[in-house]
Amino acid sequence: MQFRRSGEDTVEIVLSQGELCALKLHPDTMDCDDPITRRILAGLLQKAAKETGLRLEAGEFLVETDRCLEKTVLTITRKKEREAPERLQVCRFDGCEEMLSCCIQLAKSGRCRNEDSSLYVWEDRYYLIVCPRQEQSDKVKALLLEYGHCALYGAQAAGVLREHASCLIADSALKTVERYFSRQS
């Protein structure tokens, strides 16, 4: 069993097949909602924290598995919760033009906290995650609906995107798109 830190909130745990069997973990069918699996992962995370100096705090963690040859790497990342989940908006765009236009409009309006905006692509569609300023939530949703389709449950949709989609711009997506794609007069 090897531990290495690969980021401020991320550790990698390298396990052999024998170690996986001893822990009764199978990377292909690992169910993180199962209490026994959670207990095993929590124990591994505590060991990794001691070995690598990772500060453990209460919160949610994302677990990824990667099998290479006879070893399995568990990557465990502390999930950051900067945005208010009840205000989080996720919008799907069917085309690049709609996504660019919406991002530019939102950036110019100042209705969203720019640092909490990120852009993803998944199955040939673009997804924008934004956290509107509290008093601007309805106006932001109306603008998003002009260009795309909003998710009913923003926080859950954002979690799915973070786990499965390819991230194009992790932070400050609105300003980044505006900087590169806005037409200057």
Domain boundary among 54, 78, 102: 78
Cβ-Cβ contacts under 8 Å for 5 (sequence gap 6 or more): 11, 12, 52, 53, 54
- Residue 83 binned pLDDT confidence (cut-offs 50, 70, 90): very low
The more confident residue out of 87 and 74 is 74
Task: Give yes or no: residues 41 and 98 share one domain.
Answer: no
Task: Report yes or no: 126 and 93 within 8 Å, Cβ to Cβ.
Answer: yes
Task: Give yes or no: residues 157 and 103 share one domain.
Answer: yes
The closest alpha carbon to 128, from 51, 48, 146, belongs to 146
Task: Give yes or no: residues 110 and 174 share one domain.
Answer: yes
**Residue 107 to residue 72: CA distance in whole angstroms:** 42
The reply to whether the predicted model has a pTM over 0.85 is no
Task: Please report the pLDDT score of residue 70 as a whole number.
Answer: 83
The more confident residue out of 91 and 87 is 91
In a domain, 48, yes or no: yes
- Residue 129 binned pLDDT confidence (cut-offs 50, 70, 90): very high
**Domain span holding position 96:** 89-181
Cβ-Cβ contacts under 8 Å for 46 (sequence gap 6 or more): 56
Task: Give yes or no: residues 72 and 150 share one domain.
Answer: no
Q: H/E element holding 130?
A: strand 125-130
Task: Give yes or no: residues 69 and 132 share one domain.
Answer: no
Q: Mean pLDDT for the chain? A: 85
In a domain, 40, yes or no: yes
In a domain, 175, yes or no: yes
Task: Report yes or no: 105 and 137 within 8 Å, Cβ to Cβ.
Answer: no
Task: Please report the pLDDT score of residue 34 as a whole number.
Answer: 82
Task: Please report the pLDDT score of residue 81 as a whole number.
Answer: 54
Domain boundary among 78, 108, 124: 78
Give the tens place of pLDDT for each residue, 106-125: 998 888 876 678 999 999 99
Task: Give yes or no: residues 56 and 13 share one domain.
Answer: yes
Number of domains observed in the structure of the chain? 2
**High-pLDDT (> 90) share of the chain, %:** 30
The more confident residue out of 49 and 134 is 49
Domain boundary among 22, 50, 78: 78
Give the tens place of pLDDT for each residue, 35-50: 888 888 888 888 988 8
Does position 149 have pLDDT exceeding 90, yes or no? yes
Task: Give yes or no: residues 43 and 108 share one domain.
Answer: no
138-143: long-range pairs with CB below 8 Å, 24+: 139/109, 139/111, 140/89, 140/106, 140/111, 140/112, 141/89, 143/102, 143/105, 143/106, 143/109, 143/111
Q: Supply the CATH number for residue 105's domain.
A: 3.30.70.1950
Task: Please report the pLDDT score of residue 92 as a whole number.
Answer: 96
The more confident residue out of 161 and 73 is 161
